[in-house]
Amino acid sequence: MIKVGSRDSRLAVVQAEEVMRRLGECELVTMKTTGDKILDRTLDKVGGKGLFVKELDRALAAGEVDLTVHSLKDVPMEQPDGLPLIAFPKRADARDALVLPEDGSWDREKPIGCSSARRRVQLAQLFPGIEVKPVRGNVQTRLRRLDSGEYGALVLAAAGLHRLGLENRISRYFSPEEMLPAAGQGILAVQAREGECRAAAQLLDDAETRVCALAERAFIRALGGGCFSPAAAYAVLENGMLRLRGLYVSADERSLIRGELTGAPETGERLGCMLAGRLRRQAEEET
């Protein structure tokens, strides 16, 4: 029986169960990661989102589990030797969503809560003058903090809210033109030991999602960014061509530069590198 490793948060378990239904009979093994335990500091202060996968990587390498399931946007750009990402199931909604308190009101004197620099810099452009404040914890914890009056609104990934059956909490969706998603947002990543679980990979992998995931991650990697970088990337296949949009943020966060490239799907990773170079050069010319 295949053992599937997951974080023990409700969303992570739901995501793992989504994969397990496709595989058939499996055993779920959950664990709390370092990233789940440290909630009083933002991720960039404690080592980045790699803290959400470290324990799972260790369990996979040790043979305690056969597969692990992650939110791709939480997975570091560089993978440990011998532990490749073997499958990217079909992408869910990649957009960010605005969530208001249960009564539907938005007190704009209170901060907007979000968990990433990427959202923070884009929110500053969308809603100038409204404070943006970090918020940590699982989705349910964040909603409790919102409903208790600590925040006026939250920005969360639409995919996670839908997977938890909480889509009724969404007040509005942000289009990619308003707020470019994180690289890999809405995508699950399945990881295994090198050369193993090939049948599972074939069953789970979605070719279109894979192309988009690799292009987005190539863009972030080419910028030298990690999971908590303000940079963003979003790729879609349109009429047989890959359209990649990217966001580059200057070091002082005063300049947000957007751009896009279109090319053949098989050139996705090269498109990511090319777009990163183009936006970086544009930023240098503007300074």
- State which CATH number among 3.30.160.40, 3.30.1180.10, 3.40.50.2000, 3.30.70.1150 fits the domain covering 206-287: 3.30.160.40
Q: Active-site residues: which are they?
A: 74
**Architecture of the domain spanning 1-89+187-205:** 3-Layer(aba) Sandwich (3.40)
Q: Per-residue pLDDT tens for 89-126?
A: 999 999 999 999 999 999 999 999 998 999 999 999 99
Look at residue 285 and tell me whether its pLDDT is greater than 90: no
pLDDT bin (cut points 50, 70, 90) of residue 34 is low
Domain with CATH 3.30.160.40 in the chain: 206-287
CB atoms within 10 A of CB 54: 15
Look at residue 12 and tell me whether its pLDDT is greater than 60: yes
Question: What pTM was estimated for this model as a whole?
Answer: 0.91
Of all residues in the chain, the percent with pLDDT exceeding 70 is 91
Q: Per-residue pLDDT tens for 185-243?
A: 999 999 999 999 999 999 999 999 999 999 999 999 999 865 556 899 999 999 999 99
Look at residue 62 and tell me whether its pLDDT is greater than 50: yes
Name the DSSP class of 205. -
Give the contacts of 2 (CB within 8 A, at least 6 positions apart): 23, 25, 26, 27, 66, 67, 197, 200
Q: Half-sphere exposure of residue 228, counting CA atoms within 13 Å on the CB side?
A: 16
Smallest Cα–Cα separation from 201: which of 5, 23, 8, 15?
23
